[in-house]
Amino acid sequence: MKFTGQSFWLGKNVEYANAWRLQSNVVKRVLSKAFPNTLLFLEHSAVYTVGRRFSENHLLGPLDAPLLHTDRGGQITYHGPGQLICYPIISLSEVGLGPKSFVKMLELSIINTLKDLSVDAWTEEGLTGVWTSKGKIAAIGVKISKGITSHGFALNIDPDLKAYDPIIPCGILGRDMTSIFSITGQITNTNQVCDLITKSLSKWTGIDWGDRLDSSVETIQK
């Protein structure tokens, strides 16, 4: 490995706004070299988020969770229990990646992880994210500021898929959302998924993420 990194599990039911503030804090620290490249894993409490390309036409009905506007790319999506969130905060120049190759690396890491979980997945031309025969299983929305990445991807392990009914996820009409559980019928250990993703991200970036630490938003922000 060429580079040193760090990795954290922030727990479940993490409020989106708190994680967003944390990301901004970590971005500043990575930019100033006070922090190494950082992975943040968590599950959010139920929330809908929209990116810079949001259209109100993608709202189909009343939402049962808050709607928040963010500074990431992309359109509207849902986050909630049963969905693994990964926020890689990486200096792209340090690891030799550009914006497009970074997104492609995220997609490949998810695909490789799903393969190890007996789920066939792929990318589709002109669309961001990861797809299966039953629908989209992972959404990607990133921000890059001064060469440092934030936001990241959401992988559906076993969320309530009905939460997507009142929206057009990522602005893509006529395509279902799915999950690992919907495809395999088996309960998947979140720690195992984190391990597989970390291993794959390490392969593509050359970063040794070290042992994943249990922490909290408040602890890391100090």
Across 34-69, b (16+ Cβ under 10 Å) vs e yields ebbbbbbbbbbebbbbbbeebeeebbeeebebeeee
Q: Which of 74, 79, 6, 13 is nearest to 40 (CA)?
A: 6
**Would you list the DSSP string of 129-149?**
SEEETTEEEEEEEEEEETTEE
Separation CA 13–CA 203 (nearest Å): 29
DSSP string, 201-222: HHHHH-EE--S-EE--HHHHH-
Any catalytic annotation for residue 170?
yes
Q: From its phi and psi, is residue 131 left (phi > 0), alpha (psi between -120 and 50) or beta?
A: beta
Amino acid at 150: S
Total Cβ atoms within 10 A of residue 181:
16
- Under DSSP, is residue 62 helix (H, G, I), strand (E, B) or coil? coil
Closest CA to 27 of 9, 40, 14: 40
Q: Kindly name the residue from 90, 170, 201, 220 that is annotated as catalytic.
A: 170
At residue 78, what are phi and psi to the nearest 5 degrees?
Answer: -115, 140
Tell me the catalytic residues: 170
